[in-house]
């Protein structure tokens, strides 16, 4: 729980806060009177996100940050402390996505995804946990993804990083078990309608999109606010998220076959696309929560062609 006064007045740090789930979450906390600290690589989009939160009546601080830089993430935590005096909730959310076979993917691109999606979360935990220990309370929320539960072809860097983040969450929770008011939560959303697919690295030669069905960023944001109020170790989101979570526990082999099938059927589209590294090394962060895929993710029509 965030404290006796609830969400109002709490201090919430969100990485990847300029778009997608991060932006939706910042706005959701802002509507409830939280003070939000937003981090992302692109300063202009980040400033716009902060203004959107301020328009909702919240105090907001924008701190341009590349989460792969541990010193920068430490500076983010210190900026939050300097401005607001404490941190109640830290949400590790910044992520990169890369489609392509392992052999077609340059090592530098593969590593960049892991540096952001895993080491970025590690840097966040190392920056905020000393703050939580000093306060004797705090909530760390890691955005893991349903792909942190089961493998899929053509997204090995993303899936590997998310598996590792789930493991990191489990280990931290055990290390902090003697502190009853410090919580580590893993949120497990299914595909979410955000700009991540348009900005993704894509070496498949085909257009890419989300696996069906698709949740909205606002839906995920409400779950994250709920976790701040009532922390729990793991939180699948939506019917699809719950289905993958349960199936992965009951039958890992069946869940792997299922995810392989739906990834190739829906994520890899029939339309051809020029290979690109997307926003892996340079930010391309529009101030947008949605990627325009809608609840079924059918903006361009899934028709898998690979595997």
- Reported as a single tens digit per residue, the pLDDT across 86-136 is 999 999 999 999 999 999 999 999 999 999 999 999 999 999 999 999 999
Residue-level pLDDT at 264:
66
Local confidence band at 239 (pLDDT 50, 70, 90 cut-offs) = low
Local confidence band at 266 (pLDDT 50, 70, 90 cut-offs) = low
Q: Which of 64-68, 260-264, 269-273, 291-295 has the least mean pLDDT?
A: 291-295
Class of domain 11-272: alpha beta
Query: Token match 């109640």: residue?
Result: 88
Cα–chain-centroid distance for residue 271? 27
Please identify which of the residues 119, 121, 158, 245 carries the catalytic annotation: 158
Between 11 and 255, residue with greater pLDDT: 11
Distance between CA atoms of 179 and 175, rounded to whole angstroms? Answer: 9
pLDDT digits over 137-192, tens only? Answer: 999 999 998 877 788 889 999 999 999 999 999 999 999 999 999 999 999 998 89
Between 151 and 304, residue with greater pLDDT: 151
Minimal CA–CA distance to 21: which of 301, 292, 289? 289
Residues in the chain: 307
- Give percent above pLDDT 90 in the chain: 72
Minimal CA–CA distance to 150: which of 216, 218, 240? 240
pLDDT digits over 51-63, tens only? Answer: 999 999 999 999 9
Does position 193 have pLDDT exceeding 80, yes or no?
Answer: yes
Query: Token match 């009532």: residue?
Result: 230
Between 127 and 306, residue with greater pLDDT: 127
Give the domain ranges of the chain.
11-272
Task: Decide if 197 is catalytic.
Answer: no
Distance between CA atoms of 123 and 238, rounded to whole angstroms? Answer: 29
Between 286 and 160, residue with greater pLDDT: 160
Task: Read off the pTM.
Answer: 0.90
Cα–chain-centroid distance for residue 8? 23
pLDDT digits over 57-80, tens only? Answer: 999 999 999 999 999 999 999 999
Does position 275 have pLDDT exceeding 80, yes or no?
Answer: yes
Distance between CA atoms of 298 and 213, rounded to whole angstroms? Answer: 9
């Amino acid at each position: 729980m965030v404290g006796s006064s609830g969400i109002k007045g709490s201090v919430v740090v969100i990485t990847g806060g300029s778009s997608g789930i991060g932006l939706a979450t910042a706005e959701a906390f802002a509507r409830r009177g939280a003070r939000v600290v937003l981090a992302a690589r692109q300063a202009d989009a980040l400033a716009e996100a902060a203004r959107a939160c301020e328009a909702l009546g919240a105090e907001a601080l924008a701190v341009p940050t590349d989460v792969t830089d541990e010193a920068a993430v430490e500076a983010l935590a210190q900026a939050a402390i300097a401005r607001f005096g404490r941190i109640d909730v830290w949400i590790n959310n910044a992520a990169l996505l890369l489609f392509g076979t392992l052999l077609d993917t340059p090592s530098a691109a593969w590593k960049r995804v892991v540096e952001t999606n895993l080491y970025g979360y590690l840097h966040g935990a190392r920056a905020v946990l000393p703050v939580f220990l000093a306060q004797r309370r705090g909530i760390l929320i890691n955005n893991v993804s349903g792909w942190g539960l089961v493998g899929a072809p053509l997204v090995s860097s993303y899936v590997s990083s998310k598996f590792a983040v789930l493991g990191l969450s489990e280990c931290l929770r055990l290390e902090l078990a003697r502190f009853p008011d410090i919580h580590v939560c893993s949120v497990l959303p299914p595909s979410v309608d955000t700009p991540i697919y348009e900005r993704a690295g894509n070496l498949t030669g085909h257009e890419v999109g989300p696996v069906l069905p698709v949740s909205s960023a606002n839906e995920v944001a409400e779950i994250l606010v709920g976790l701040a109020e009532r922390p729990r170790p793991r939180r699948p989101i939506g019917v699809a998220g719950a289905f993958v979570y349960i199936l992965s526990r009951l039958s890992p082999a069946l869940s792997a076959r299922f995810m392989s099938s739906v990834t190739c059927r829906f994520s890899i589209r029939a339309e051809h696309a020029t290979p690109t590294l997307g926003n892996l090394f340079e930010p391309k962060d529009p101030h947008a929560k949605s990627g325009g895929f809608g609840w079924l993710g059918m903006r361009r029509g899934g028709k898998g062609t690979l595997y």
